[in-house]
Structure 1
Amino acid sequence: MKRSILFFLMCIAVHSLTGYAQSDTRPVVGVAQFTCDGSSKYAGLVTEKVVEMLTNTHRFQVVDRTSYDKVHAELELQKSEAFIDSENTAVQGVAIAAEKIITGHIAKIPVYAMKNPNGSVKGYKASVAFQMKVVDVETGISTEATSFQGQTSEMMMSPESAVTQSMFSLQGELEEYFRKNFPLQGKILKILESKKDVAVTILLNVGKNQGVKANNKFQVERIEMLDGKPYPSTIGEITVTKLSGDDFAECSVPKKIGAELLARFQAAEKLTCNLIIK
């Protein structure tokens, strides 16, 4: 019965991921289990919080590789003789392929038990220090490791909540790290206004949920495939004039690139818009 329930849950997860991958054009980022000096039972908690913060940016499809490994192990088990001819064997090999992987190494997670005069524990404090880097899956090239040092938490009722609060003190730094290492990329959905075969206003598929703000600038590039590899060429810059809902942005197009942009869009050429980070 337990196996049937597990199989059912895995099927839902695999089906959901498959459908999601087909309709979602956001970049796919995996997060590997963070390593730790010595042994720390809180290392997994740090990894989970990084996954949570990355997911909350709404800019990526985030694959928690720590959970994936457990599902993969169960799928391997189902290949054993005990599952031969079973109708309940899950289909293997259906997963989202990450384009980049975030890896991390925890230098220390000191957790302090705060005690009353009689020796009983009245609460816990903790801090976290770790390094993170981003690995490009295709090339294997990684960024330089960046260090993060969380503030010592306030006194909390459990060690886990103390570690969590220390991690949340890093939220601003981590968001900036994600912003710089994963530049936001959008695509043109439609031409909102044109005059005499010149695009004046266009609509992008990114907005407030992805951290876009009015007056942000995007660089428009045409992507040409050469020898099976993408070759970008710059068309020019556009400027966000208005956020429409949570997931769209209206942008003004300079007259000097309006004709080319309109022509290439109408020709269904692949165009990408990359947020310019200052």
Structure 2
Amino acid sequence: MKLFILFATAVGAAIGGWWVTTHHPDLVNKIENFINKGELHTLEIRFGAQELMEAHKRELLKDKRHEYLKPALKFYPYLLMEVKYCLSDRLTGEGVILWDLRDGEMVIQTKDWEKTHGFGDCLSSHATKEEFKILNILARKGGTVDRESLSKTLRTENEILDSLIDSCRRKNLIVQAGNSYRLHLQRPKFNILPETRLDKKLVTQPVKRAARLSTRYSPQHIIHVAHAAFGNHFSIRKKSIVYLPVHSIVVKNPDGSIHTSHWNALNGKLLEPSHLME
């Protein structure tokens, strides 16, 4: 009886841990922050706020009536993974992936901080490995495929295919247009290699008591979707959470209103609104 109680307790704890990490990653973030005594590992700050304010003064301060207010530095959470994957039957690729823990998108390259578009929806809808087979076919075919092509490519029974299609439709991942199906995204972008192209080698440094933003997705959730999206030969060797330093540059307008722009301190580029999610 005691063994049964211990086993049931262990199973309950495991299920509870999975539920918390999947549905409340912000709580996990607070616990980790407490354990680590407020220390986090950040990507290096290659561009300072004053440097960016001076370099972009003409576009940010349109005339003398506009003025800078005090800038702020915040840190955005990313999952950093060292990975390997199959490029072909004879060639293996190795590299790293940076994956945004707030908008759920992967960084394609760091020079301009180009990101995927579509993984966030897959994370929110808990897309499965089988559903990703349909999504990946659509992505490779330019976003739209008819049912016959899906059937030929997947080589699966009609009943199973219909079930997968219905599941993707219920999750609003695809929509039907006549006898064809298309990705339910504007300019989808996730037919990519599972690797972030680095402009320069990533360097991290420890920082204490920094203004970090909370996560929306847990690392475990990201890892699950990465395996589902990239197939059986995708493997993660190491993983860690790192933080991207972002400068919030504030301008006071003549009418007293405030305009805030956000700048990537790693590459010095302006971040698009979709990258922020504050």
Task: Give the alignment's TM-score, normalised by structure 2.
Answer: 0.23
More strand by share: 1
Q: Greater CA radius of gyration, 1 or 2?
A: 1
Greater RCO, 1 or 2 (C-alpha within 8 Å, sep 6+): 2
